[in-house]
Structure 1
Amino acid sequence: MGSVNGLINAQGKQPLLSFGVISDVQYADIPDGRSFLGVPRYYRHSILVLQRAVKKWNCQKAKFVMNFGDIIDGFCPKDQSLDAVMKMVKEFDNFNGPVYHMIGNHCLYNLPREKLLPLLRIHSHDGHAYYDFSPIPEYRFVILDAYDISAIGWPKDHPKTMKALKFLSEKNPNSDKNSPDGLVDLDRRFLMFNGAVGKEQLEWLDHVLLEATRSNQKVVVCCHLPLDPGASSREALLWNYDEVMNVIHRSDCVKVCLAGHDHKGGHSVDAHGIHHRVFEAALECPPGTDAFGCIDVFDDRLLLSGSGRMKSTEMIFSR
């Protein structure tokens, strides 16, 4: 009977595949600091967390790795941004298999999409960063672009930028659009460091889920921004998480939604039985500690074996 960091797989089955996960590395060659909430951040140490993660994923013979965004930090000196991203990509490339990246707000503080996406080898159309892949016939992974509609990353005069700024002006009365002051409950997500999934991407998602259903595939949806209030701080949610989940809930094929961004991590099961797991940030690991994991994929569950601050989690499918 297998044991994964304190979790037992009762069936004793071999997984269909295993893959590595890490989020919010936010490397920068600068002294340690703190978040706006006062949480310590270890900018130089985070590359060591990634190096240890890659070594362990290779030992575990993970099939692929998923980076949930924010590969470098917004405080990274802008004249070092390009080199810093390339440096981190090189570290990921030490993994013996494919690496799938997502973009986060800190990535976009440093580089525009036109430069960032090729570095992360995200092959998409018109500067978008959503895509899907199927590593085995039974499963499909869907990667969403959480900053499709965003005030960061697109050119200042881009229609998506203008749409995001108009949206924020209507939803957030503060002069600092990254401040949730005065915003109540779920409205606290309407901050500039978040974003939304646009209409075309929603239609694409609906199509992909329809195809997955026809192919009898189980789907794991991945996004830098969380999609369920039960797993996340209000301030970290995707602006239109509700619209995205309405599309997802129309299908029975989605079993799990994975995300980053909300550094403390979280786990919930929504009213439709879908698991939402938000990963703990590598950036907030004190020297010598870690936050990464390896997920074993079974027919009826995902089993996250967490290292260090990343909590192990069993996600058993209810349908």
Structure 2
Amino acid sequence: MIKYDKGTLRMRNLAVIDIGGTSIKFGAWVDEKLVTMDSEPTPDNLDDFYDVLKIKVEKIKNIYGDISGVAISSPGAVNKSAGRIDGASAIPYIHGFPIFDKLEALFGLPVSVENDANCAALAEVAYGAGKDNQNILFLVLGTGVGGAIIINRKIFHGSHLYGGEFGFMQVNDHETLSEACSPVNLARKYNEITDEDLTGKEVFDLADQGNQLAHDLREKMLESLAVAIYNLQYSYDPEKFILGGGVSNNPRLLPLLREKIQQVTARVSIADIEPKVELCKFRSDANLYGAVVDFLQEHE
């Protein structure tokens, strides 16, 4: 692995990359500030993937001069000790081989790679809703439910790299948390019954307009999420939970969820800690910010 002069790291610039299933975002960390640049469609093969990354990093070098490293947010179970990306994602060709070495050779620079949800959590700890906290749990409500565990302001990966994969938890009626609490699955359940084609946000809003089915489905979703948060509070005992994902933009989510958490906590008479839940600060650039934090933690 390429080594870096740690003593001058904060005085240098970084290229920053957020690898997604449909597009790859690029930015630069310059004078301790993130400068977002542009994005490219995610290629369907490894050779083109390497070409896109190399061209973009060279462009960043040309614009900002001395680049000291490349910070990367990636899907999949990032195995830092083995220098590869395990698990599976929408980009199958990046998995299962020592890609860290390939990327460092491609750029001729030190590289850091971290899972995208973990990067989003690191961004919140460094600059967002968790900046004053040591220990948080980060939950992302999207197509499924993902997240991250932060202990002492660093990612806890777990023994099998499944730390923060809250979506695998079983909740009601043998559903996983992803099945029970994803906005995508909220919409799917409603549409299967009504034969409509609504989004999760539209179903969420219908519940406020008096639609009984939407209300009942939303209540079940919030109940499952509140129970999961309660259980995680008394398992990991974080200072707070931070919620991300598209549904976090809905102003009704937080007050409804807090009310449900109060009800769940009240069922256990000896429970004297009510989980504290806040919304994330960062949206589209969270993974880029977090990739920088990961690089600084890894190379300092």
TM-score, L = length of structure 1: 0.33
| Larger Rg, first or second structure (1 or 2) | 2
Q: Which has the higher helix share?
A: 2
